[in-house]
Amino acid sequence: MQANEFNEVLLNRRSLRALATTPIPREMSLRVLEAARWAPSCSNSQPWRFVVIEDEPELNAVKSALKPGNQKWASSAPMIIVVCANPEDDYLASGQPLYLFDCGLATENLLLQGVAEGLVMHPMAGWEEQPMKDAIGLPDPYRVVCVIAAGFPGPVENLDVDLQEREKSPRVRKPLDEIVVFGTWPKV
């Protein structure tokens, strides 16, 4: 693969909300999950677990555990992936909860593979944890780290008007000179 092709995948990844109800073929979801499996993790601890929900009544239960703002658009998703981890699996190298960082890396792999497959993959933090755990049967001490709505792109007209506008709005990022320091941290 050319570097510019990879860049295209990066730039095409968007947290879109218009999702078709069409099911995702199993071989496609396996490729997406396989991409997550190859993420780096601290001491190769691989703390991530992925609970893939596609069938009723669990799919509806998972959607009911989303915050209302997410329910509005994620209700059409044919698949919800719940990224989970056991905090006790944390590899304490720096006194930071690195299992969350590792799960983030795996999640990004998953999102990017999804984009390369032509899917919309939208990560969410807006959910209620205990109802989400109940919906997927997740035991303690596992925690829900991230919830991803997945599906093929769907009709934008089905979204609320404000969300239709957000769907088409340009993506905004801080400029490099605000987030990068070459050399040491500038003195004030």
Ligand X SMILES: Cc1cc2nc3c(=O)[nH]c(=O)nc-3n(C[C@H](O)[C@H](O)[C@H](O)COP(=O)(O)O)c2cc1C
- Interacting residue ranges for ligand X, rule: CB under 6 A: 14-15, 70, 123-126, 146, 171
CB-wise, 42 or 147, nearer to ligand X?
147
169: helix, strand or coil: coil
Are β-strands 48-53 and 120-124 bridged in parallel, bridged antiparallel, or unpaired? unpaired
Least distance CB 74 / ligand X (angstroms): 8
Task: Please list, in sequence order, all residues whose beta carbon lies within 8 angstroms of the beta carbon of residue 51, skipping any fewer than 6 positions away.
Answer: 81, 82, 84, 136, 138
Least distance CB 184 / ligand X (angstroms): 29
Least distance CB 10 / ligand X (angstroms): 10
CB-wise, 30 or 125, nearer to ligand X?
125
Cα gap 129→105, rounded to integer Å: 21
CB-wise, 171 or 174, nearer to ligand X?
171
Least distance CB 111 / ligand X (angstroms): 8
Phi, psi (deg, nearest 5) at residue 59: -60, -40
CB-wise, 68 or 183, nearer to ligand X?
68
Contact 12, 169 (CB under 8 A): no
